[in-house]
Structure 1
Amino acid sequence: MNIRNHPMRFTLLSACLALGGISAALAAPKVYVANETDGTVSVIATDTRQTVRTVTVGAGAHNVQATADGQRVWVTNNGTPPADAGHAAHQGMSGAAHAAMATSGEVWAIDTATDTVVGKVPVGNHPAHVVVSPDGRWVYVTNGGDNTVSVVDAGAMKVVATIATGAFPHGIRLSPDGQLAYVANLKGGTVSVIDTASRKEVESIPVGKGPAQVGFTGDGRLAFVSLSQENQVAVIDPRTRKVLRKVPVGNGPIQLFATPDSQRLLVANQGNRKTPGRTVSVIDLTSFKVTASIRTGRGAHGVVVDADGRLAYVSNLYDNTVTVIDLAAHKPVATVPVGAGPNGISVTP
């Protein structure tokens, strides 16, 4: 949050000062990282660029998502394991990287004021990604082992609907207006389009090999899906629901994220453990060409951009770190140690 660029925030700051609430007004956004190998969530303070807290969650914590108001963070996992049970690390996105779990997974809610777990909801088998409706009321979880999406009532803390998708749904994102959910079906080669009002799949878009994650520009003009087995990103027209073109990127692209001005798309190139990727590709959304390749740690997996569009945060799966990138300079400015096997990543407003 850049207070200098938002005059109304001076009024808010003054009011907080008058009420003795300066600490709340000046609180910096936080980055949350799901560490799959050790079943934790790392909390990074954006002002100090240090991990300030580690939250224990369920086994195989895979993805996290902050709500629009920043009060909650949701994390997918496989539930609290038996005392003598271990769990395998996420090794990449090709082949049988995600073996379906035998028991149902869960999605947990973390209160960002205290960074404590305040709710747990059973969902489907092998939950992967999670997103939240703009009003924070509904939580959507992809279940890779069930070929479904669970719809969770955030207030009641229970599943209220289950939606069929393509084969092995993984990444999911909502359109900017919240009316549609796009789901990347990793083993189906498609993107499912879900109407969030009717809670039904209304279209299946053929996209290519190994679709891992989807995304939208903030203006809703374009949608995207990373093709982990083609080393490309497919660009989709949300109006026609057709692939417009494909853009070559690095090895094993996984997560992607558009800048708030809808001008650039960042793509994390994970590669694999034997030949790890170490870059984020920057695609210009006017020319649809890669205009920069930014160095990261080994196994760049998750990527998110802050609300001001100044900084990007990238989880490095094989280095157990997060790279902080200055998007004006197109260069890394910090490396933050986190837990083991960092995957999904999200930043509060």
Structure 2
Amino acid sequence: MSKQASFHRSWAFAVLTFGAVSTAAADEALTTNQPADTLSVVDLKTMKEVSVIKVGGKPAGIALSPDRSLAYVTAPDSKELIEVDAVARTVKRRLALGGAPLGVAAHPSKPEVYVADWYAHKVSVIDAERMAVVAEIPVGNSPSGLAVTPDGRLLLSADRDSDAVSIIDIAGRKQIESVSVGSRPFGITIDTAGQKAYTANVKSNDVTVIDIAERRVLGSLPTGRRPYAVALTGNLGFVTDQYGGTVTVFDLTTIKVVKTIDACDHPEGIEADQTSGNIYIACWGDNQLIRLDPETLTVVGKAKVGDGPRAFGKFLR
């Protein structure tokens, strides 16, 4: 069997079993360590770094295949998308993109990956079987975070320098709406129902809530300084306040702040384990991955990782 055929079969299996795989609790975290040019693999049970994968290119963004066996990492310095075998802990393939690849997202049920180009103001569509660009979709200025709706129909792009979010029809390969949000949106997260999106707006120090179907803003809430990204679990949202060293916790129903947690030095990437509810945060300044308990809203675990962890995207597997 050829390598390409083997890869196709692997992804097809992931598609067929996606519902079962996606509900499993995360065992590991993969943090992109930008100055270190590495990925740290952290065992979430022991909160210990168990492997280091050299990737190069100053890695920043990260997304996972449906079965979470492959990681897709953006490398802004080398202008690449890097495919990593998260099981074998090795780099599999590299795709030269040019520009400034930053945010990245993977389709939930088919072999496609989407990469935001900060300089070229576009999203590249990658065929993950062939590791090739198959389409380019113009969006607003300086797209950063990307997120795909659970049904795989829409892709949302946080267009930082346009103060807006692009809503993209994936099948049609086109932007169908631009929704104005706060100032300088960076991270974007979609809820598990695919109904609402949340942007972390780094200049206006707030989060904007979008009704995706109606393509309108539902409200906003204040955060700490320079919010970076948002995670959701239960009825709570969590925002990393990069310059504040805090995490803002808010109620998803009322869109009101319920607590501000002292977290770490420059918290950045954040993701919730949807099974356990635990929140994991990459701390750029401390070179740590920390765990928050969603019930007590306290830090309950810390793991040392490589220099300058960003983990911008989906990094739990």
Match of 2:297 among 308, 330, 346: 330
Aligned to 2:268: 301
Note closer, same or farther for the CA distance 1:136–1:44 as it changes in structure 2 (3 Å cut).
Answer: farther
Aligned to 1:284: 251
Q: How does 1:176-255 map to 2 (within 5 A)?
A: 176-255=150-229
| Partners of 2:311 and 2:173 in 1: CA distance | 25
| Partners of 2:270 and 2:52 in 1: CA distance | 20
Q: Tell me if structure 2 keeps the 8 A contact 1:309–1:327.
A: no
Q: CA deviation at 1:309?
A: 3.9
Q: Tell me if structure 2 keeps the 8 A contact 1:124–1:148.
A: no
| Partners of 1:73 and 1:209 in 2: CA distance | 30
Aligned to 1:162: 136
Q: Does 1:270 align with 2:242?
A: yes
Aligned to 1:41: 39
Aligned to 2:112: 138
Q: CA deviation at 1:176?
A: 1.6
Deviations 1:17-74 (A, max 9, x none): xxxxxxxxx9961100011112111110111111111111122211111222111111
Q: Tell me if structure 1 keeps the 8 A contact 2:109–2:152.
A: no
| Partners of 2:44 and 2:110 in 1: CA distance | 23
Give the RMSD, CA atoms, in angstroms: 1.7
Note closer, same or farther for the CA distance 1:38–1:239 as it changes in structure 2 (3 Å cut).
Answer: same
Aligned to 2:83: 109
| Partners of 1:348 and 1:268 in 2: CA distance | 17
| Partners of 2:222 and 2:214 in 1: CA distance | 22
| Partners of 2:276 and 2:167 in 1: CA distance | 27
Aligned to 1:316: 283
Q: CA deviation at 1:292?
A: 2.1
Q: SS of 1:125's equivalent?
A: coil
Note closer, same or farther for the CA distance 1:279–1:239 as it changes in structure 2 (3 Å cut).
Answer: same
Q: Tell me if structure 1 keeps the 8 A contact 2:150–2:194.
A: yes
Q: CA deviation at 1:280?
A: 1.2
Q: Tell me if structure 1 keeps the 8 A contact 2:182–2:207.
A: no
Q: Tell me if structure 2 keeps the 8 A contact 1:29–1:347.
A: no
TM-score of the aligned structures, taking structure 1 as reference length:
0.81
Match of 2:230 among 248, 256, 269: 256
Aligned AA (2:33): N
| Partners of 2:182 and 2:86 in 1: CA distance | 38
| Partners of 2:242 and 2:146 in 1: CA distance | 18
Q: CA deviation at 1:146?
A: 0.9
Q: CA deviation at 1:268?
A: 0.6
Aligned to 1:7: none
Q: Tell me if structure 1 keeps the 8 A contact 2:271–2:316.
A: no
Q: SS of 2:161's equivalent?
A: coil
Aligned AA (1:310): G
| Partners of 1:167 and 1:149 in 2: CA distance | 11
- Provide runs of 4+ in structure 1 moved above 4 Å: none
| Partners of 1:125 and 1:35 in 2: CA distance | 20
Q: Tell me if structure 2 keeps the 8 A contact 1:124–1:145.
A: no
Deviations 1:86-106 (A, max 9, x none): xxxxxxxxxxxxxxxxxxx11
| Partners of 2:292 and 2:182 in 1: CA distance | 29
Q: CA deviation at 1:203?
A: 1.0
Q: How many residue pairs are counted as aligned between the two chains?
A: 293
Q: Which runs of 5+ in 1 are unaligned?
A: 1-25, 81-104, 272-276
